[in-house]
Chain A
């Protein structure tokens, strides 16, 4: 094939892909009732609205203690859900990873369980748990735990696969037992990376906790929903601002720790 032919083919291919994408965009807009023009038009409106209404005023500041206590609840919930999920995920990842698996059946099972936990929407968990546990912190905890667990198993498994194949082989060759291999070979190698994933999940969970709070009536999400429905936009601004500050602070801290340990 000559060069011109190759380039022409490439051009046609690109055009084809772009046309296909446009068709899907058009189809998606129709079935979802999404109006691109309306969307674009509402962006400047929203920005002005945020700048004028979403500002915490004096009345909103009176709600500050309430906001802070709900925020604290959300933070604690996110951290303990992430840490406990990480402990469970570690063992699942050990049994599921290719380098440290005991046998293929167990590895397949653990991977399958994690995939199911990860892919069932967090909303479904929250909605089912709220029926039996009620509007309670425990509901939020379990919903966060389950989704964090699923994600962390996948992350940990990739970390173990990447980091420790050689070390495991060497330890196996010297006749180390399985637990020696895991705790002396795999764990020290992968610990910094895993901690880094754990921090990432804590940060993600504060955001998810807001959503779950909205659905289950706990934490900062509940408070947001309450003031949203009361059209109390000053307090809404205060809540949004406090979430922004917390998430950025955690991101900053985790970046700092990550730089120290990696």
Chain B
């Protein structure tokens, strides 16, 4: 009888062996793909755009990109200024990452299923998903109303998103710790804080470091955007000035190259850290 169950999806049609492998999952995949394709085809017609002169616009874009990438030059600012501004952007990213990471650690030990009660854990998860739903730039602008535009608003706004992201990542790595270890410590009479500092923290330290650096890399990109949108300074603000104020695409190109090099260095570092720490 067991054969038939093995052969269930297989049948003959016109002398050829056909297989049927429709499960619930494959059907869902298909439905989702069809829905997305239709939406993509219809979508452009749902948008209102004022008339675009496509040939001219494309020509201008190519020309702009040529100026940007092939003839980069500093005009309004100097190379030294660019370096300082990049340092400021990195500093903004660093501050928001470290503050977010500290808060996340405390939230995560109250979120991980093996360390915290379910009610508290769910409350924190819900709180984080509301924070994450508001775009960073809106948080920054909301903070700016009370604290004023500048570094304080930018760091606080970016910190909130960092916190929401890292709490999830940290809690997941805490959950991977073997239940037995925690139980043994509990049986030996260790207090909750003992368990956190002598078992949870050492065992997940490498994951925490690699997740935090990964977030730092992301925050660098966010910090560029915040500098441009919320006048928090840094390289993003220079980028905004040179494109929207001076219309100096040569400089936009140069600034982009500077920002790009730092971003690629950070990406490679993050990947290396991840590879080394996770392998252990």
A binds B: yes
Task: Enumerate chain A interface residues (CB-CB to B < 8 A).
Answer: 21, 24-25, 27-29, 31-35, 38-39, 42-43, 45-46, 49-50, 54, 72-73, 76-77, 79-80, 83-84, 115-116, 118-124, 127-129, 131-134, 136-138, 191-192, 195, 198, 206-208, 210-211, 214-215, 221, 224, 228, 240, 243-244, 247-248, 251, 257, 260-262
Contact for B28 among A25, A121, A206, A261, CB less than 8 A: A261
Chain B residues with CB under 8 Å of A21's CB are: 98
Interface residues of B in 199-247 (CB under 8 A from A): 221, 224-225, 228-229, 233-234, 236, 239-240, 243-244, 247
Interchain CB contact under 8 A, A127 and B61? no
User: Which of A29, A121, A192 has the largest number of chain B CB atoms within 10 A?
Assistant: A121
Give chain A nearest CB distance to B253 CB in angstroms. Answer: 9
Contact for B29 among A138, A195, A251, CB less than 8 A: A195
Contact for A132 among B61, B91, B94, B228, CB less than 8 A: B61
* Number of B residues with CB within 8 Å of any CB on chain A: 77
Task: Enumerate chain B interface residues (CB-CB to A < 8 A).
Answer: 24-25, 28-29, 32-33, 36-37, 39-40, 43-44, 46-50, 52, 57-58, 60-61, 63-65, 68, 84, 87-88, 90-92, 94-95, 98, 129-130, 132-138, 141-143, 145-147, 150-152, 155-156, 221, 224-225, 228-229, 233-234, 236, 239-240, 243-244, 247, 249, 252, 255-256, 259-260, 263-264, 267
Interchain CB contact under 8 A, A127 and B146? no
Q: A39-B156, A45-B146 are in contact. List 10 more A-B contacts (CB 8 A).
A: A27-B91, A28-B95, A121-B221, A122-B221, A124-B239, A131-B247, A132-B63, A195-B33, A240-B142, A260-B28
Contact for A211 among B39, B43, B135, B260, CB less than 8 A: B135
Contact for B43 among A34, A79, A129, CB less than 8 A: A79
Interchain CB contact under 8 A, B243 and A50? no
Contact for B52 among A73, A133, A240, CB less than 8 A: A133
